[in-house]
C-alpha cells in the first residue's frame, strides 16, 4: 500500500512538472484533443460539406473570443457583422465556381461593411460584460501590468479609428486566412487529404514542439514574447509535421507521384513548423499586448479556440499555395 502511494505521489510530481514546462493541464489537453480529432474525422468521413460547416462554427466561436479579448481593453469589434461576413466568405469560397474570386470579393466587401459597423456607437451587453469580468478576474496581475494599455481600473477610451483598425485586422485574421483552409478542398480531387494536411499537420507540429520543448528545450526562441518556446521545440515541430506529411502522402498518392514529389513533405514540414510557430508567437504577442493569459476558455487544456487554431490559420495560406503549385 505504501509503495503504491509513493508511486502515485511520484507520478503527480512528474505530471506537475510537465504541466509547468508545457504551460497546460496535459490530461485535459489530451482529452480535448482526442475529442476534437474524433469530431473532425467524423465530419470528413460523413461529408466534406459538413467539415466546411464545422470550420465556419469554429471561426464563429473564435470571433466571439476575440470580441471578449479586445473588450478587456475597451476595444470593440462588430461581432454580428463579422459572423455574417465570415460565414458568407467561407461558404462562397467553397460553393462558388470561382472560388478564389468569390473569396476575394467577399473579403473586400467584408472589410468595408465591418469598418462601417465598427464606427457605430457601441456599448457592452450584459453577456459581454460578464465575459469580460470573468476574463479579467482569471488573469494574473503580472500579465495586466505588461500590457501596453493602461489598466488603472478605469474605463478605456479609444478613437473610432482604433475600433475600425482592430475590426479590419480581425477580418484579415479570421475569414481571409480561414478561406485558405476551404479553397484546397476544391482542387486536385483530394479534399480529405488536403483537409488533414491543413488541420492536423499544424496540430501535430504543435504536439511535436510541445514535447520536444518540454523534454529537450534549453535555448529560448523568443523569451520576451513566449518564454516556453525553444529552438528545440521548433525542431520538434518541423520533424512531427514532416512525418505527418509523409504519412498523408503515403496513404493518398500513387508510387509514381511519390517518385516525382518526394520532396513535398519535407517542404511542407518546414513550412508548417515555421509558420505554425510564428502563428503561436503572433497570438502570444496579442495576448501580451492585451494583458491576458489565454484567448478564451472553451477548450479545456488548450485555452480557447483561438489558442488552438492560431497556428492552423497562419500555416493555411502556405500549405494551400504548396498544394496548388505541386498539383497534389
pLDDT in tens, 119-138: 875 555 555 655 555 655 55
Domain ranges of the chain: 18-326
pLDDT 10s digits, 77-119: 999 999 999 999 999 999 999 999 999 999 999 999 999 998 8
- pLDDT for 11: 47
Q: What's the CA dihedral at 222, 223, 226, 231 to 10 degrees?
A: 50
pLDDT at 38 over 70: yes
Alpha carbon distance 182, 167 (integer Å) = 22
Cell of 33: 484533443
Q: Per-residue pLDDT for 188 more than 80?
A: yes
Name the percent of the chain in helix, strand, coil, to the closest 5.
75, 5, 20
pLDDT-derived band at 307 (thresholds 50, 70, 90) equals confident
More confident site: 167 or 151:
167
User: Angle, to 10 degrees, between the axis of helix 191-216 and the axis of helix 305-326?
Assistant: 120
pLDDT value of position 157 = 65
Provide the pLDDT for residue 7.
Answer: 47
The model's pTM: 0.83
Rounded to whole angstroms, what are the CA distances from 244 to 189, 196, 232? 20, 9, 18
Q: Using H for helix, E for strand and C for coil, what is the string for 198-266?
A: HHHHHHHHHHHHHHHHHHHCCCEEECCCEEEEEHHHHHHHHHHHHHHHHHHHHHHCCHHHHHHHCCHHH
Is the separation of the CB atoms in 99 and 162 below 8 Å? Answer: no
Amino acid at each position: 500500500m505504501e509503495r503504491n502511494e509513493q508511486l502515485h505521489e511520484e507520478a503527480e510530481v512528474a505530471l506537475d512538472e510537465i504541466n509547468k514546462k508545457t504551460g497546460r493541464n496535459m490530461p485535459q489537453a489530451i482529452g480535448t484533443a482526442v475529442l476534437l480529432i474524433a469530431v473532425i474525422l467524423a465530419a470528413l468521413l460523413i461529408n466534406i460539406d459538413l467539415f466546411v460547416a464545422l470550420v465556419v462554427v469554429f471561426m464563429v466561436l473564435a470571433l466571439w473570443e476575440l470580441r471578449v479579448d479586445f473588450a478587456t481593453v475597451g476595444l470593440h469589434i462588430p461581432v454580428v457583422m463579422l459572423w455574417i461576413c465570415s460565414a458568407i466568405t467561407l461558404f462562397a469560397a467553397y460553393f462558388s465556381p470561382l472560388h478564389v474570386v468569390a473569396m476575394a470579393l467577399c473579403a473586400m466587401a467584408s472589410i468595408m461593411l465591418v469598418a462601417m459597423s465598427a464606427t457605430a456607437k457601441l456599448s457592452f451587453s450584459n453577456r459581454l460584460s460578464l465575459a469580460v469580468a470573468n476574463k479579467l478576474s482569471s488573469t494574473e496581475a503580472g500579465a495586466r501590468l505588461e500590457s501596453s494599455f493602461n489598466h488603472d481600473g478605469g474605463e478605456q477610451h479609444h478613437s473610432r479609428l482604433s475600433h475600425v483598425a482592430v475590426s479590419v485586422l480581425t477580418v484579415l485574421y479570421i475569414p481571409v486566412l480561414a478561406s485558405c483552409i476551404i479553397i484546397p478542398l476544391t482542387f486536385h480531387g483530394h479534399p480529405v487529404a488536403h483537409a488533414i494536411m491543413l488541420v492536423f499537420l499544424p496540430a501535430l507540429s504543435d504536439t511535436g514542439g510541445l514535447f520536444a520543448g518540454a523534454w529537450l528545450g534549453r535555448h529560448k526562441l523568443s523569451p520576451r514574447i513566449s518564454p516556453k518556446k525553444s529552438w528545440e521545440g521548433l525542431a520538434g515541430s518541423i520533424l512531427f509535421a514532416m512525418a505527418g506529411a509523409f504519412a498523408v502522402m503515403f496513404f493518398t498518392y500513387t508510387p509514381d507521384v511519390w517518385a516525382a514529389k518526394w520532396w513535398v513533405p519535407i517542404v511542407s514540414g518546414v513550412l508548417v513548423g515555421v509558420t505554425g510557430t510564428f502563428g503561436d508567437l503572433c497570438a502570444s504577442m496579442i495576448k501580451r499586448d492585451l494583458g491576458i493569459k489565454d484567448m478564451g476558455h472553451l477548450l479545456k487544456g488548450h485555452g480557447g479556440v483561438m489558442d488552438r487554431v492560431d497556428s492552423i490559420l497562419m500555416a493555411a495560406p502556405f500549405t494551400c499555395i504548396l498544394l496548388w503549385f505541386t498539383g497534389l
